[in-house]
Amino acid sequence: MLGTSPRCCGCPSQQRGAQQVGTEGHAQLEHCLSTGEDVLGAFAKAGAHLLPTPGSDLLVEQPLDVAPPLTAGGSPFTGFIDLVDARQLASDGVLRITDHKFTSNVARNAATPAQLADANTEPGLQMVGYAAWALSQVERFPGLRELELEHLYYQTRGQRLAASVLASVPVGHVAREWRTKVEPQVEAMKEHAQAARAANVPANYGPACTKYGGCPFMAKCLTGENKTMSLRDTLLNKSSTDDLPAVLPPDAPQTSPVQMAPEVVEQPAPKRRGRPRKAPESEQFAPRSDLRILFVDCVPTKHDGPRPESLTGYVDDMHRKVAEAGGVDVRFAGSDSSLGFGKWRGALAMAARAELPLPASTPRSGSPSPS
């Protein structure tokens, strides 16, 4: 879904303060550009000088599902484009597509022109999608050769200001981005939709995990479905979400019920008087297959467990996965990146917790400490 708005699902939503500001600002801009009546509030009014002159020739809140609808891999998209301005189309073959963004800090949160033109980024996926819709409207936009993709930002904290970020791209670039980046994503989504269990779909740790307050399922991704329930879940006696019926496509594979072994209730051992027996030293330090032992700042000369190996290769592998998910090397992640300002540490911890080193490859990195 691109360009979501409250009208997309037709159901009421509980909006927070920032969401309410954006909803009201979009409604004000829609009314002003459609009718010419100045109803702009304090935030939207800061960008009035960046808006085109209101008129009936502007497409305001343009739906994506008009014929022919925007599709990828045969799947239709739904949503609304804030503003489509075709006033330069006849003379220059240029079409401008604008999306309004209300943000607390324009300098920190605004996208770059390069991001708007790249479908592998969050802002780029949205704007390239809008541009791909325009390409499908051949009769409505004849002679189209260039698209101006614009984010118009309105600051909601501190100084009242607005800024325009613009990326000009040829139609060939849009078609190539949609074909080589979006279409494969949709095909992968369709394949994953056939899975009968969430565990059958590979985890994707990326910038979306912490967006908008964080994904409510992040804890499940980190702990895994077969791990012990949290103390909170145990106290509340809540059922696992795996017990809920899944909504699957008609051609999803049939699943067979899992045969569970009857629960065995262990009887408590009889209490003994006196001090508990101390285990022999050989039993205390016997290696266990489910432990990982780290050697910090030393090289062990004698170790009864598996041959120690360097942790470097494992860390490099986790680093690579985080970089691929975030779309940027953590060493070069700037303030506009979801991995910037040390946030890559949390992403690296998530990846390591989800994919621990193999017990047979005990990493070396100190005095032995089981983890």
Does the pTM of the predicted model rise above 0.85?
Answer: no
pLDDT category at 231 given cuts 50, 70, 90 is very low
Is residue 334 classed exposed, middle or buried when 0-12, 13-18 and 19+ CB atoms within 10 A define those classes?
exposed
Q: Tens digit of pLDDT for each residue in 355-366?
A: 777 764 444 444
Any idea where the domains of the chain sit in the sequence?
6-192, 205-213+291-371
Nearest to 321 by CA among 346, 342, 348: 348
User: How far, in Å, CA of 314 to CA of 306, rounded?
Assistant: 16
* Helix orientation angle between 344-354 and 312-326, rounded to the nearest 10 degrees: 120
pLDDT tens digit string along 245-257? 444 455 555 544 4
Per the CB < 8 A criterion, the answer to whether 118 and 176 are in contact is: no
Residue pLDDT, tens place only, 52-103: 999 999 999 999 998 899 999 999 999 999 999 999 999 999 999 999 999 9
Sequence-separated (6 or more) residues with CB below 8 Å from residue 18: 102, 104, 156
Amino acid 265: pLDDT: 53
Task: Determine the topology of domain 6-192 in CATH.
Answer: Lambda Exonuclease; Chain A (3.90.320)
| Kind and range of the H or E run holding 309 | strand 309-310
Q: What is the pLDDT of residues 257-296, one digit of tens each?
A: 444 445 555 566 666 666 666 655 555 554 555 566 777 7
Phi first, then psi: what are they for 33, rounded to 5°? -70, -25
Please state, in angstroms and rounded to a whole number, the distance separating the CA atoms of residues 186 and 192: 10
Mean pLDDT of the chain: 78
Please say whether the beta carbons of 109 and 115 come within 8 A. Answer: no
- Provide the CA 134 distance to its chain's centre, in angstroms: 26
pLDDT tens track for 154-169:
999 999 999 999 999 9
Alpha carbon distances (Å) from 326 to 114, 122, 189: 16, 11, 19
Asked if the model's pLDDT at residue 130 lies above 80, the reply is yes
Encoded amino acid at 81, one letter: I
Residue type at 151 in one-letter notation: H
**pLDDT, average across residues 340-365:** 67
Beta-bridged to residue 71, according to DSSP, are: 76
Q: Which SS3 state, helix, strand or coil, does residue 148 take?
A: strand
Say whether 68 sits in a helix, a strand or coil.
coil
Three-point CA angle 131, 137, 139, nearest 5°: 145
How long is the chain?
371
